Amino acid sequence: MPSAPTATMPAVTIDLHAHTHASDGSLAPADVVARAAARGVSTLAITDHDTLDGLGDAVTAGARLGVTVIPGVELSVRAPQGQLHLVAYLPSSDPPALRGLLRDLQQARLLRAERIASRLSELGAPIDLDAVRAAAVGSIGRPHLADALVASGHADDRADAFARLLGDDAPAFVPHELLTPREAIRAVEATGGITALAHPATLRLGLRGLESYVAHLRHLGLWAIEVHRAEHTPEQHVGYARIARRLGLVATGGSDFHGPATGRSDLGETGRPPLPDATADLIHSALVDRVASGP
């Protein structure tokens, strides 16, 4: 049985955004679930980037440890500016309707990594991409390339690698070949799943522009927006919660956990106020209704 939460553990018991080494997290899926159980998290969504590979192990570990694991995936989607990621919550850990799409996205990620590696060489910071491929358990992302830059002595740490070379405004940045929002939302709907806008601040739109754009996503079928995140300022939390209310979206959130040594939020840390436990019930009900009504 999971150990009881201590006084230092988060009061929240659900976390709807977490990563494993199937994408750019540092822990195996079963280890992420075990850490969640030890921290008192009873419901956890595993949402790796553009892959479902970690879900089977996570669900199995959850059944053993008493953690309800919601299958998910975080899709990289074409944005008007900044970054647009949609977190999908799914009715099963291997929906056939997503297999081909995710296979194509994995190939696009590899091609992007090759282009970034080429730019890094031109900038005098070459990395061994074959070693990156061998070390990556799942899909390759910029964090893997950042680690390669650190290993080769071209960066002090991941933050330095992103700041000087890999970030959105840095010289080695290469944009994704991405789905449109309509394509992504419809693909998720075909599985009986639902979508939430992840880390809305990364769109760089400001609250007024964000609300207008989220209204467009709502028209396409968006179900939720992440309001509860530890890095949100009080002003952002209030602003995103207001957008959710005005547009009739569910306010979700999560830690966006990538590993204990990343300097980011730990499992169950969803900001103040924390993500309400009832949000998990809303997701379960929506998934049941979607599956019952068909795609």
* Max avg pLDDT among 11-20, 77-86, 178-187, 191-200: 191-200
What is the span of the domain harbouring residue 153? 103-166
In a domain, 7, yes or no: no
Q: Assess whether 200 and 141 both reside in one domain.
A: no
Tell me the pLDDT tens digit for each residue of 141-192: 788 898 899 999 999 998 899 999 998 889 998 877 678 999 999 999 999 9
CATH of the domain at 226: 3.20.20.140
CATH of the domain at 150: 1.10.150
Dihedral-angle region of residue 40 (phi above 0 means left; psi in -120 to 50 means alpha; beta otherwise): left
Q: Assess whether 128 and 272 both reside in one domain.
A: no
Q: Assess whether 107 and 95 both reside in one domain.
A: no
User: What are the beta bridge partners of residue 228?
Assistant: 253
> Does the pTM exceed 0.85?
no
Whether residue 282 contacts residue 250, with contact meaning beta carbons closer than 8 Å, is answered with yes
Overall domain count for the chain: 2
Give the Cβ contact number of residue 117 at 10 Å.
Answer: 21
Q: How confident is the model at residue 268 (pLDDT cuts 50, 70, 90)?
A: very high
Of the two residues 109 and 282, the one the predictor is more confident about is: 282
In a domain, 171, yes or no: no
Q: Is 123 exposed, middle or buried (0-12, 13-18, 19+ CB in 10 A)?
A: middle
**Dist. CA 174–CA 114, nearest whole Å:** 10
In a domain, 9, yes or no: no
* Three-class DSSP category at 252: strand
Q: Assess whether 265 and 192 both reside in one domain.
A: yes
Q: Assess whether 284 and 194 both reside in one domain.
A: yes
